[in-house]
């Protein structure tokens, strides 16, 4: 994946572009089934609203428990692509809010899934990390 062309920030030194590269990196890690890399973008104490799970997730342990509980039919191997569009990233010092849409493409013939996502990011000693993430399925294409 590459940075969507709709983003107008400087991809070499702009914090918004760096966060967008992290978002793309997170989805690339998901596609590669690389939890460790995906989790490296997420603060250990992050909270998350998952599009298919109602309670608020708190931290890596809760996220991994949800991942492990998903049925095999929802295996990441069915996902053949994730396309990021419409990024809007606002940065205020060491805090940022990143909004984007992503489309999930599947290998089993089911319709694409369009999801809107909002993430609250914070600059830490280890770089930018997600501290809260919220996603909602908008529709299937």
Total-model pTM:
0.84
Could you tell me if 67 and 36 are in contact, meaning their C-beta atoms sit under 8 angstroms apart?
A: no
Phi-psi sector, 101: left (phi>0), alpha (psi -120 to 50), beta: beta
Per-residue pLDDT tens for 19-75?
Answer: 999 999 999 998 998 999 999 999 999 999 988 888 999 999 999 898 888 766 555
State the pLDDT confidence band at 141, using cuts at 50, 70 and 90: low
Domains and CATH numbers, the chain: 15-140 (3.10.450.50)
Helix, strand or coil for residue 59?
helix
Please say if the pLDDT value at position 6 is more than 70.
no
What is the reported pLDDT for 51? Answer: 81
What is the reported pLDDT for 41? Answer: 97
Could you tell me if 17 and 9 are in contact, meaning their C-beta atoms sit under 8 angstroms apart?
A: yes
What is the reported pLDDT for 77? Answer: 62
**How crowded is residue 96: how many other Cβ atoms within 10 Å of its Cβ?**
20
């Amino acid at each position: 994946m590459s940075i969507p062309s709709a983003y107008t920030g400087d991809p070499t030194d702009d914090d918004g572009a760096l966060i967008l590269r992290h978002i793309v990196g997170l989805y690339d890690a998901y596609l590669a089934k690389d939890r460790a890399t995906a989790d490296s973008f997420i603060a250990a104490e992050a909270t998350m609203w998952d599009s298919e799970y109602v309670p608020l997730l708190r931290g890596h342990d809760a996220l991994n428990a949800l991942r492990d509980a998903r049925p095999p039919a929802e295996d990441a191997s069915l996902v053949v692509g994730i396309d990021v569009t419409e990024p809007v990233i606002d940065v205020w010092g060491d805090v940022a809010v990143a909004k984007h849409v992503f489309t999930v493409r599947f290998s089993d013939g089911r319709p694409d899934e369009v999801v809107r996502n909002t993430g609250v990011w914070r600059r830490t000693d280890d770089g930018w990390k997600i501290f809260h993430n919220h996603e909602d399925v908008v529709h299937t294409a």
